[in-house]
Amino acid sequence: MGVARADTHEKDVFERIFHPERIAIVGVSANGAGFGGWMMGSLLEMGYAGTIYPVNPRGGMVRGMKIYPRIEDIPEDIDFVIIAVPAEQVPETLDAALRKGAAGAEILSAGFRETGTDGGMALEKAVVERAKQGIRVIGPNCFGVYCPGSGLTLMPGPDLSRESGPVAFLSQSGGMSIDFAHMGRWMGVRFSKVISFGNGADLRETELLRYLGDDPETGVVAMYVEGVQEGRLFFDVLREVGEKKPVVIYKGGLSDAGNRAVLSHTASLGGSGVIWKSLMRQCNVVPVVDLMEMAETTLALSRLPGQVYRGIVVTGGGGALGVGACDAAESFGLELPRLEQSLSDRILSVLPKPGSSALNPIDVGNPYVDPGTLKKALLMAAEDDRVDIQVLIQLLYHFEHFAKDIEGVSVKDVVPIQVLADAMKDVVEKTGKPVVVVLPNNVRDISKMGVEEMIRAVRNAFLERHIPVFDDLTGALRAIGHVSRYYETKQRRR
């Protein structure tokens, strides 16, 4: 049975929610303090280009703008309302927003169903009743919406990236949503939309997932789920969206203790681990177990070509790293094919001696090998038809010893950052095979802040050339394995 598509009216509603031209923020005080004021400040710092109408019964001015005592006093209709007032005032605020033509609302306020009280349940029921009258509600008890394309941001998220990308994230946890958005900025994950829906009184996992499945701005959907409503419908939507684009799910609350925690967090039931694993397998979902794995997986899904990866070449300095690569690769469905002797000899001829080997993994012998040599080695390794992707490990923290001997020079000055990144970009372009870079940092004490700065600069240089970077080899191989399994299953089911 197929799943109903979003009609034109629904698409228009979502467009007005994610790209609003006029926003009312209810609960903004004249001194800018409180959730409403913080959200207003965040929107301004993000560069939201539409019109903001702050609302507070006391009136006044804030940031040079008039504060309207009531929503009804705003001189024109609005698209979206952000609500940060006590829970008891939320239903009447939604009534006023409806009269002003708002298509949607996000309710930052807590004090609803998650309290477990009769009063909280009644207030959430009142929210649901307003939603049925025509205003779609995100929340309550949420952090809101982050949409870089329009300048919407989560609370508190004034410093998130303004660069849009293909990853969408649906989260029942506000904290998880803002954490992932922050991680995305430095890791290179770029978002189309991040939606923290909290209690999910109206809009929640199933309907939002269906929307994102058809959203042309979204190529990968990630989800943090504590519990779902309408399990059968969720299954149908998940299966259909999973056929069109990758869906990554971090399921919270599968243990007994976790189940208790999610009940008090968003009043959800965690559900059976066996059922969830079966559901995700049937729907070709990519399952992850924590936030870092979710971030690494979405990085790979959004930065690597969508295809099956089997054979990899791992190049770096250190024999033990190579052994670890071989062992880890197999556990993620990958393999390191032994290179033909003639090819291995050619690669070895350009590497420093002694100490290098080139059968795969390719051990370059020391961490100071110049980018030109690395480029030659990777170009030759890609000639093997069994190789689908290459991994370059760079232990750049060793360069610190060079900088110590030169007065006024930092480690960032002695690492050939741009030349190295350009070299790997050339490898990708000339071979048509992707390269993934791993940048471990094993010297993280406070005296090594210069090393940390250098590694971050190197990461940025690679990301600017669309080459994904990981902190460790296991994370990189696991992410590549996730990409490969998704597309392999998708091909098999056609």
Q: What is the full per-residue pLDDT of the chain (494 aa) written as tens digits?
A: 445 555 778 779 999 999 999 999 999 999 988 999 999 999 999 999 999 999 999 999 999 999 999 999 999 999 999 999 999 999 999 999 999 999 999 999 999 999 999 999 999 999 999 999 999 999 999 999 999 999 999 988 899 999 999 999 999 999 999 999 999 999 999 999 999 999 999 999 999 999 999 999 999 999 999 889 888 999 999 999 999 999 999 998 776 666 666 666 555 555 678 888 899 999 999 999 999 999 999 999 999 999 999 999 999 987 667 777 888 899 999 999 999 999 999 999 999 988 899 999 999 988 889 999 999 999 999 999 999 999 999 998 888 887 877 777 888 888 899 999 999 999 999 999 999 999 999 888 998 899 999 999 999 999 999 999 999 999 999 999 999 999 999 999 88
Q: Which amino acid is at 370?
A: D
SS3 at position 437: strand
Predicted local distance difference test score (pLDDT) of residue 259: 64
Identify the residue whose tokens are 């903004």: 28
Predicted local distance difference test score (pLDDT) of residue 354: 86
Predicted local distance difference test score (pLDDT) of residue 456: 96
Predicted local distance difference test score (pLDDT) of residue 340: 96
Distances (CA, A) of 131 to 91, 105, 203: 10, 9, 9
Give the torsion through C-alpha atoms of 457, 460, 465, 467, to 10 deg. Answer: 110
Predicted local distance difference test score (pLDDT) of residue 227: 85
Q: Which amino acid is at 175?
A: G
Predicted local distance difference test score (pLDDT) of residue 410: 87
pTM above 0.85, yes or no: yes
What's the Rg (C-alpha) of the chain?
Answer: 25
Q: The tokens of 382 are what?
A: 């890609």
Predicted local distance difference test score (pLDDT) of residue 408: 79
Q: The tokens of 37 are what?
A: 């004021």
Predicted local distance difference test score (pLDDT) of residue 478: 97
Predicted local distance difference test score (pLDDT) of residue 263: 61
Pairing, β 104-107 against β 286-288: unpaired
How far is residue 466's CA from residue 148's CA, in Å, rounded to a whole number? 19
Residues in the chain: 494
Q: The tokens of 198 are what?
A: 């909290």
Distances (CA, A) of 347 to 314, 350, 359, 367: 13, 6, 9, 17
Predicted local distance difference test score (pLDDT) of residue 254: 73
Predicted local distance difference test score (pLDDT) of residue 413: 87
How far is residue 217's CA from residue 489's CA, in Å, rounded to a whole number? 24
Predicted local distance difference test score (pLDDT) of residue 384: 97
* Nearest-5° Cα angle at 219, 227 to 272: 20
Predicted local distance difference test score (pLDDT) of residue 2: 46
How far is residue 205's CA from residue 238's CA, in Å, rounded to a whole number? 10
Q: Which amino acid is at 123?
A: L
Are 67 and 61 contacting, i.e. CB atoms less than 8 angstroms apart?
Answer: yes
Predicted local distance difference test score (pLDDT) of residue 355: 87
SS3 at position 99: helix
Predicted local distance difference test score (pLDDT) of residue 367: 86
